[in-house]
Amino acid sequence: MEMSVELPSRYEDLRPEFRAQLRPNRSLIDQVKNAHKKMKMNKGVRFLPVFGVSGAGKTSAALELGTHLPDVEVFLLPREVVEGALALEHALPTSRASMIVAVIDQFEEGVARREDIPTRFVEALSHLDRANFPTPVLFLWLTTSRDFQRELAAATSRNSRLLVADSFELEPLARADWPDVIEETFEFHNESRELADFQVLRSDIVAASESAPSLGTAIEVLGDNFDDEGLQDISDYQVVMIWPVTDGQRLANVRNFTNPRLGYRLDWNAFYRALNPADQAQLPLDAYNKARLYFDVRLVPIQAADLHAICLNLTDPDAAPAKSYVNGFMKTHFYGVVSDTWDPDAYRPMKDHGGAITTPLRSTQAKNWYAKATAKPTHLGRRIASCLNQLGLVAKAETEVKTPHARVVADVFAVRSSGERKKVIVELKAYAPENTYPSAIAQQIRSTLKKHAELAGYLQRR
């Protein structure tokens, strides 16, 4: 299964709708405001050579100035103007803005007679400065060369008032913010998917951010480290956790660990945040994440009322209830995920239950029933398997799944007739309602990931 992913490291490659979300560069904004103040008092134009290492965010900071300073119009100066083929004053736009920022983005690289550019360009600036152009204009020349920056500054010696600063270096985004920026960039460009889905964990992002010389380089390093296999190596097995809930708060507690519209896929970031610092540092999270991806782990909440309807009599847990109750169970999100008939358009965020409306009486009855039903979780598993069989899936309770590495016992084991994953390991998380809180949910997710990491051989059993 081929997946196309994007993790752009250059401004030009960012989606236009994402560019306005880029964080402001305070050091450059302050220089722009300083230049505007000078031009407001003394007229004319100004020039600022901007040095920054490759990938520091020079282009992003410069071309997004208009986002953070609404009175500024940003304009990318054409190459022919820089090389002298087109007069400078004819290239500038007519603007109602308080100031125009004209950006020259490293045009000195690979240009013939590079050494002539500073003198020729600054001479053109001097002519424009005396021409009383109607709108204040600040020219920003972005460069990765300290020597060329000095040449540009030296070229203004005969008209020093043009120069805003002779050795300005763009202050990059704080290194501590890089991991967040990388994650935001990736998720925006990849339909909210996480880097963890491609075997890139938060610890990997932090490590790249700490060692790379620039944000752009850190992004490129992470892109090169994407696991080529990742989600493309599809297993026959899928792991689905089902967690009964008795009220809206507990439903929300479970749902917050998932991406509901993606079929209740386990949300790695939510799970990671719920771990305490010691667990974040010590647990074999890489193995857990591989297991999550390999088995496409899901966590599906289900209203106790929807279980109660099919479990009115558990004297014979293998017996199937009346067809009307089974048809109601078929409308639950859990059945949609297990049967691989999940329809994201049918997702109802305020309900997460089956076809019947959960009335106060129905909810109360289910809550009272479920408090006792948790004492016999195997009976619940057998009844769920019975209903799945009646609905056309081959299902069996308490089934062992074994590999050369380890074994797990599925509370319910279901086999689909089609699809990429034909075998479903269902884990029933039938806990008392008071145990449905975030830390307990995280602990159970951890337990499931550990067992299946061992099953796949990602983690050695102790």
Q: State yes or no: pLDDT of 228 exceeds 60.
A: no
pLDDT in tens, 40-78: 888 889 999 999 998 999 999 999 999 999 999 999 988
Q: Bridge partners of 410? A: 399
Edge-to-edge strands, sheet with 298-303: 258-259, 265-266, 298-303, 237-245, 423-428, 407-415, 394-402
Helix H, strand E, coil C: the string for 313-328 is CCCCCCCCCCHHHHHH
pLDDT reported for residue 115: 64
Higher pLDDT, 449 or 40: 449
Q: Tell me the pLDDT band of 139, cut-offs 50, 70 and 90.
A: very high
- Best mean pLDDT range from 80-84, 188-192, 299-303, 419-423: 299-303
> What is the rounded average pLDDT of the residues 282-286?
95
Cα–Cα distances in angstroms (integers) from residue 335 to residues 77, 331, 345, in the given order: 59, 7, 15
Lowest pLDDT segment from 114-118, 200-204, 374-378: 114-118
CA–CA gap between residue 160 and residue 47 (Å, rounded)? 10
Q: Which two tokens stand for residue 179?
A: 């991991």
Please determine, for residue 329, whether its predicted confidence score (pLDDT) is greater than 50.
yes
| pLDDT at 235 (0 to 100) | 61
List, as one string, the DSSP characters of 114-165: GGGHHHHHHHHHHHHHHTT-SS-EEEEEEES-HHHHHHHHHTTGGGGGGBS-
Please state, in angstroms and rounded to a whole number, the distance separating the CA atoms of residues 264 and 109: 50
pLDDT score at 2: 44
Q: Taking residues 323-348, what's their average pLDDT? A: 87
Residue 230 pLDDT > 50: no
Mention every residue, 6+ apart, whose C-beta is less than 8 A from residue 360.
none
User: How many Å apart are CA 104 and CA 8, to the nearest integer?
Assistant: 21
Q: Which amino acid is at 391?
A: L
Interatomic CA distance for residues 150 and 241, integer angstroms: 63
pLDDT given at position 195: 87
The confidence band for 349, taking pLDDT boundaries of 50, 70 and 90, is low
Asked if pLDDT for residue 114 goes beyond 80, the answer is no
Mean per-residue pLDDT, 279-286: 95
